[in-house]
Homo-oligomer: A and B are copies of this chain.
Amino acid sequence: MTSARYTAALIVTVLLGAARPAAALEPIIHSDRSVTFRIEAPEAQRVQIELKVDDLRGQQPAEMKLGPEGVWTWTSPSLDPGFHYYFVLVDGYRCADSANPLFLGWQRPTNGVEIPDPELTSYLPRRVPRGDVRIHPYFSALTSQWREAYVYTPPGYDHPDQRRYPVLYLQHGAGENQTSWMRQGRANTILDNLLAEGRCQEMIVVMDHGYAYSGESSDPSGQRRHNLFPRLLLEELIPEIESHYRVIADREHRAIAGLSMGGGQALSIGLENLGKFGYIGCFSGAVREVPLPADDSGRPLDMATINQRLKLLWIACGTEDFVIDRSRALHEQLDQMGIEHSYITHAGTHEWQSWRRHLTLFVPQLFAP
């Protein structure tokens, strides 16, 4: 739509207050699970779609073809069920198709397309009691910044019985943020559905941003700096949650899990603080070596104590995931060390459908009375 036409349409919308938002050129999902993408850009010389069907394998952007009315199209091969990120490139400029849904991934709002899954449906909303996801602002002294935690409270949380709940700290992957487990992962919907089926305990789920840096929010030099998130979680986030929500504040009722980068964070924060966490989940974890299990003061623990403290250490990975070798090596190293754990593999890639599956399998194992 031209700029003048767009503005004119909006003026009509404002003054009449009744217009339906303009229709987007949505991706068309075909029955064979291929997808036709459409971008209206009549003046562009070249338009591409960069589809991230297994996140990090670095597919080359696909060339779209210009058709009638300035609309470029490209049809993908058949895709796996689940959620796939994609970028639009217009004459080489990587941008978002802001007429279609955006999700925080790849360090920025990124488009996503959802292919229905005939098997896994735990993330689809059902007519069951729904919990809220609370945007909880708090000030971090460590970074001198305001942050927002996303906090799922189960449907019964506001009842006047004043019950207290166990807590799962749930971390996203690289380039994502505190919104991603809700928006891409549908973690709140998965919890609502499991609860309605009586398949898990009621719990609070805390989703925070897994990056924390002191000083200014941007770093023009582009240099990598030390991520303070593990310290922030232990020193600021947990106390913040425990002073604002009705939480059972002990290791038997505190879990940590995450995906990819967040799986590595969960494994190291969890194992290095076995006085704080009784349950650890590592989903498609990007892990180089097993952290040395320790109590909260950094004192190493003997194997009997480790296994007594660890009520669950759960490792999962898809067999088509590019980190499958690391996951298997992690499993084998844990075996060699004598650390009890579960190791699950399944058909799946390094994508959100795997992590929805992992959460659906992991949560029912937490906090059994």
A residues adjacent to B (C-beta < 8 A): 1, 3-4, 6-8, 10-11, 13-24, 26, 39-47, 50, 56, 58, 60-61, 88-99, 102, 106-110, 125, 127, 130, 132-139, 146, 151, 158, 160, 162, 173-175, 182, 188, 211, 213, 218-227, 244-246, 260-261, 264-265, 286, 288
- Residue of A109, A151, A160, A222 with most chain B CB atoms under a 10 A cut-off: A109
Q: Which B residues lie within 8 Å of A99 (CB)?
A: 108
Query: CB distance A261 to B175 under 8 Å?
Result: no
Query: CB distance A97 to B94 under 8 Å?
Result: no
| Distance A99 CA – B109 CA, assembled complex (angstroms) | 8
What are 26 A-to-B residue pairs whose CB atoms are below 8 Å? A1-B94, A10-B175, A11-B56, A13-B261, A14-B286, A15-B288, A16-B224, A17-B286, A19-B174, A20-B222, A22-B222, A23-B220, A26-B218, A41-B91, A41-B93, A43-B93, A88-B95, A90-B91, A95-B96, A96-B98, A99-B108, A132-B136, A133-B134, A133-B135, A135-B135, A158-B246
Q: Which B residues lie within 8 Å of A223 (CB)?
A: 20
| Distance A253 CA – B32 CA, assembled complex (angstroms) | 54
Query: CB distance A14 to B106 under 8 Å?
Result: no
Query: CB distance A106 to B3 under 8 Å?
Result: no
Since A96-B109, A98-B98 are in contact, a sample of 13 more A-B pairs with Cβ atoms closer than 8 Å, ordered by chain A residue number, is A3-B58, A3-B89, A3-B94, A13-B175, A17-B174, A17-B264, A23-B221, A45-B45, A90-B90, A94-B98, A95-B95, A102-B102, A134-B134
Query: CB distance A93 to B94 under 8 Å?
Result: no
- Residue of A127, A135, A221 with most chain B CB atoms under a 10 A cut-off: A135
| Distance A221 CA – B22 CA, assembled complex (angstroms) | 9
Query: CB distance A130 to B135 under 8 Å?
Result: no
| Distance A56 CA – B11 CA, assembled complex (angstroms) | 6
CB closest residue in chain B, given A95 = B95
As for how many copies of this chain the complex holds, the number is 2
Q: Which B residues lie within 8 Å of A60 (CB)?
A: 3
Query: CB distance A137 to B110 under 8 Å?
Result: no
CB distance from A260 to the nearest CB of B (A): 6
- Residue of A13, A17, A45, A213 with most chain B CB atoms under a 10 A cut-off: A17
Q: Name the prevailing secondary structure of the A interface residues.
A: loop
Q: Which B residues lie within 8 Å of A15 (CB)?
A: 286, 288
- Residue of A47, A139, A158, A188 with most chain B CB atoms under a 10 A cut-off: A158
Q: A11-B56, A107-B10 are in contact. Are A219 and B20 (CB under 8 A)?
A: yes
| Distance A221 CA – B94 CA, assembled complex (angstroms) | 30
| Distance A91 CA – B19 CA, assembled complex (angstroms) | 28
| Distance A127 CA – B175 CA, assembled complex (angstroms) | 29
| Distance A110 CA – B45 CA, assembled complex (angstroms) | 24
CB closest residue in chain B, given A12 = B224
CB closest residue in chain B, given A42 = B92
| Distance A41 CA – B42 CA, assembled complex (angstroms) | 18
- Residue of A42, A45, A108 with most chain B CB atoms under a 10 A cut-off: A108
| Distance A132 CA – B14 CA, assembled complex (angstroms) | 30
